[in-house]
Amino acid sequence: MITPSMKGIILSGGTATRLFPLTATTSKQLLPVYDRQMIFYPLNMLVKAGIKDILMIVAPEHSGQYLNLLGSTLKKFGINIYFEVQRVPRGLADAFILGESFIGENNVTMILGDNIFEDDIAASIRDFSSGGMIFVKEVNDPQRFGIVEFDESGKVLSIEEKPQNPKSNFCVTGAYVYDQRVVEIAKKMKPSSRGEIEITDVNNAFLQLNELKIKKIEGEWLDAGTFDSLLEAGNIARDKKLYENFDPIIDQAIAEFNEELKILAKKKLL
């Protein structure tokens, strides 16, 4: 039996209204976090995990900006970036439906484009074999998140979305790893009251199969969804030198892209 390879998805759609007017002209994930665009943080984690094929799910109004930045930046390094336009956001789990042909018979890691992890989760992604795996982080305000209850051995007991009476303080972060069954699971999901296909329902489906695992996040985890958290993300990236944790491929690709832009800028001045 051939072991499935791992593919990657970065979900970068949405309107990010909490960051207006910054996001009136560009995608939130293209805003800077210290010395590079936010999108490079989740992209880095996938590249460090050895993933060569990555699908970017973007909003139509920003698709050209993503294509300009990432269309060929990583191709010479053997990293293939594909694009899928999500015209109407239908929930996180919709990414697996949009990416059905891309995923095929492979395992898949999805990371939200605005999630920044201090921890290196690449090894956990590389070691994944089957089922589902989520990354959890202890928080002080569990009512705001999807909350995971688990026993001392790490066995998941329940997952609830924004519970009034949380059973733990560990929330689900924006990185998810599943085997190829996630596509059919997502396709069978009914939209919630919000009209979205919820990722919590996907996680519960793997939980019911007794195939959902957790990995704890100890370091910083940021979603950069407000002015304050965007500023905090930049400060943390600077103070903790998160830029030193990037794969050399990403660093070199950014450096070469920057140099190309400078050369083009000089030509336009002549």
CATH H-level, domain 6-138+171-269: superfamily: Spore Coat Polysaccharide Biosynthesis Protein SpsA; Chain A (3.90.550.10)
Return the pLDDT at 270: 63
Return the pLDDT at 1: 43
Cβ-proximal residues to 150 (8 Å cutoff; 6+ apart), any chain: 156, 157, 168, 170, 214
Contact present, 114 and 232 (Cβ < 8 Å): no
Handedness of CA 47, 51, 55, 59 (dihedral sign): negative
User: Within 13 Å of residue 36, how many CA atoms lie on the same side as its CB?
Assistant: 25
Return the pLDDT at 194: 84
Contact present, 168 and 149 (Cβ < 8 Å): yes
Q: Which residues of the chain have pLDDT under 70?
A: 1-3, 270
Return the pLDDT at 3: 59
Among 36, 183, 37, which residue's Cα sits nearest to residue 108? 183
Residue holding tokens 């395992």?
A: 107
Return the pLDDT at 264: 85
Contact present, 51 and 7 (Cβ < 8 Å): yes
Q: How far apart are CA 243 and CA 234, in angstroms?
A: 11
Buried-exposed string 104-127: b where 16+ CB fall within 10 A, e elsewhere: eeebbbbbbbbbbbbbebbebbee
For the chain, domain boundaries: 6-138+171-269
Return the pLDDT at 77: 94
Q: How far apart are CA 97 and CA 78, in angstroms?
A: 26
